[in-house]
Amino acid sequence: MKRTITIAVLLMLGLVLAVTVWLFRRPHDATPAKQAECGNAAPAYWYDPMRPNERFDRPGKSPFMDMQLEPKCPASPAVSQGARASPGSIEVDSRVVENLGIRLSKVEQGSFARSVDTVGLVGVDEHRIVAIQVREPGWVEQLSVRAVGDSVRSGQQLAGIYSPELLATQQELLIARGSGDPALVEAARQRLAFFGLSTSQIAHIEQMGKPERRVAYYAPFDGYVMELGIRQGAAVQPGATLFQLADLDSVWVIADVPELQAAWIASGDPAELEVPALPGARFTGQVDYLYPELTQTTRSLKARIVVKNPGHRLRPGMFAAAHFRGKPLDNVLTVPSEAVIKTGTRSVVIVADDGTHFRPVVVRVGAEHADRSEILEGLTLGQNVVASGQFLIDSEASLRGAFENLAGASAAPKMEMQPELMPMPAAKPEGAH
């Protein structure tokens, strides 16, 4: 009985030992299977899928993760020849290309309009501001407009000023008319004109045959009062500003153009404007002037746009969105904007050498318009670029060190770059802890 139990225990121990040896030797037994994935060729190196930048000279268990290293199969002779012709090129299986939905687009050449979208503020057209002043001492006996911001109509009486000197000059005109001397009459008329009376006001005095105690001042156009310099009953001196009026038939929009786009705009360029306060309304204007200095805080250049304002719908102080379109440039290379990968330090485009071979190319990008980007350097007409799925190819290119080779190609002679392989860490002896 004891002998039977002893034999059973020994058999169990032998089974446990066999399973342990099989588990321990399993990674090494799997190596031929992994090598079989590369056919008859030996793998170029082994790598950890979770840390693909680390490469090893032989198979085994990853020192970083609890998983086996994967072999990296060498490219076929045809692929190797193509890789030498196009440094940094990588191959993607045609089935993978189809499954990833990689879409290609050609580098096109044509006219390209540089456009700028920015914001601005509606302001008064300073060319349409008028100051009304007195040219003789007197007193304000009548004041019809008494507050800043009040609207005025063309021909509306603003104020009536009593001036002893002006009253005396009117009497001189009437005396000259009674004398019948044309020279005296003309001299009296000119003196009244020098005091600021209009031709119609002088004719009215001659027609009435008596002087007017108060001389009226009228608004020359429709607008509003920007400044009010008098009050009812106040004394005024020559040169005093009674009113400062602004005409709103046209307004300025002062737009802030980013410094990098300031060179795209010139005086005379058209501009389209939208105002949030007037949804759906569009206004057209023209760049009238580019200011000589940049705003230091925003690094922007101010552009002045003159806009017609029928109905005075645009009011000073309103926000406006401005859209500029500069003069179109001819023979410009463009690609879809989605094809450009911007890393923050450079811009990269994935070029397709054929249906399965791709390589990253550093480009210099100009303006963007209508979902297309201007290419200043790096591509040629007719090349195919990846417009969809390029980030996956970019990741694979980074994995293989394509970008590093590309960056060194311009500064150092071209040479065959061999990856530096890490030796596998020594296996721990059995029973070690």
* 64 lies in the same domain as 98: no
Asked whether residue 232 is domain-assigned, the answer is: yes
Q: Map residue 431 onto helix, strand or coil.
A: coil
Asked whether residue 321 is domain-assigned, the answer is: yes
CB contact at 8 A, 119 and 256: yes
* 253 lies in the same domain as 307: yes
* 107 lies in the same domain as 252: no
334 φ/ψ angles, rounded to the nearest 5 degrees: -135, 155
* 222 lies in the same domain as 266: no
CB contact at 8 A, 273 and 283: yes
The pLDDT value recorded for residue 27 is: 45
The pLDDT value recorded for residue 19 is: 58
Please give the radius of gyration of the chain, using alpha carbons only, rounded to the nearest integer.
43
Asked whether residue 16 is domain-assigned, the answer is: no
Asked whether residue 148 is domain-assigned, the answer is: yes
Count up the domains in the chain and report the number. Answer: 4
Nearest-angstrom CA–CA distance, 58 and 45: 7
Give the position of tokens 């009253």: 167
Q: Domain ends where: 272, 297, 327?
A: 327
Query: In 180-314, where does DSSP find H-type helix?
Result: 182-194, 199-208
The pLDDT value recorded for residue 9 is: 66
Q: Domain ends where: 293, 327, 361?
A: 327
* 92 lies in the same domain as 186: no
The pLDDT value recorded for residue 271 is: 94
Nearest-angstrom CA–CA distance, 279 and 147: 31
Residue 392: which residues within 8 A CB-CB, separation 6 or more? Answer: 100
Q: Map residue 387 onto helix, strand or coil.
A: strand
* pLDDT tens by residue, the chain, 433 residues: 566 776 666 777 777 666 565 555 544 444 454 545 566 667 778 877 777 667 887 788 888 777 788 887 765 554 444 444 465 677 777 777 777 778 899 999 988 877 889 999 999 999 999 999 998 899 999 999 999 999 999 999 999 999 998 889 888 888 888 888 888 888 988 988 888 888 888 888 888 888 888 889 999 999 999 999 999 999 999 989 999 999 999 999 999 999 988 888 899 999 999 999 999 999 999 999 999 999 999 999 999 999 999 889 999 999 999 999 877 788 899 999 999 988 888 898 999 988 888 888 999 998 887 788 899 999 999 999 998 877 777 666 665 554 445 445 444 444 444 445 556 555 555 555 4
* 120 lies in the same domain as 143: no
* 202 lies in the same domain as 338: no
Nearest-angstrom CA–CA distance, 335 and 105: 7
Whole domain around residue 377: which residue ranges? 86-113+330-409
Q: How many residues does the chain have?
A: 433
Give the other-Cβ count within 10 Å of 142's Cβ: 15
Asked whether residue 94 is domain-assigned, the answer is: yes
* 254 lies in the same domain as 228: no
Asked whether residue 9 is domain-assigned, the answer is: no
CB contact at 8 A, 299 and 258: yes
Closest CA to 266 of 114, 51, 53, 88: 114
Closest CA to 31 of 421, 429, 424, 399: 424
* 121 lies in the same domain as 255: yes
Closest CA to 253 of 278, 298, 223, 283: 283
CATH of the domain at 396: 2.40.420.20
Asked whether residue 421 is domain-assigned, the answer is: no
Asked whether residue 416 is domain-assigned, the answer is: no
Strands 300-308 and 250-258 come out as antiparallel
**Cα–chain-centroid distance for residue 107?**
23
* 143 lies in the same domain as 233: yes
* 280 lies in the same domain as 376: no
* 152 lies in the same domain as 210: yes
Q: Return the exposure string of 402-425: e unless at least 16 CB atoms fall within 10 Å of the residue's CB, then b.
A: bbebbeeeeeeeeeeeeeeeeebe
The pLDDT value recorded for residue 102 is: 84
CB contact at 8 A, 27 and 424: no
CB hemisphere CA count around 331 (13 angstroms): 0
Nearest-angstrom CA–CA distance, 257 and 263: 10
The pLDDT value recorded for residue 412 is: 44
Q: Domain ends where: 297, 327, 357?
A: 327
Query: Quick one: 297 exposed, middle or buried, by C-beta within 10 A (0-12, 13-18, 19+)?
Result: exposed
CATH of the domain at 260: 2.40.30.170
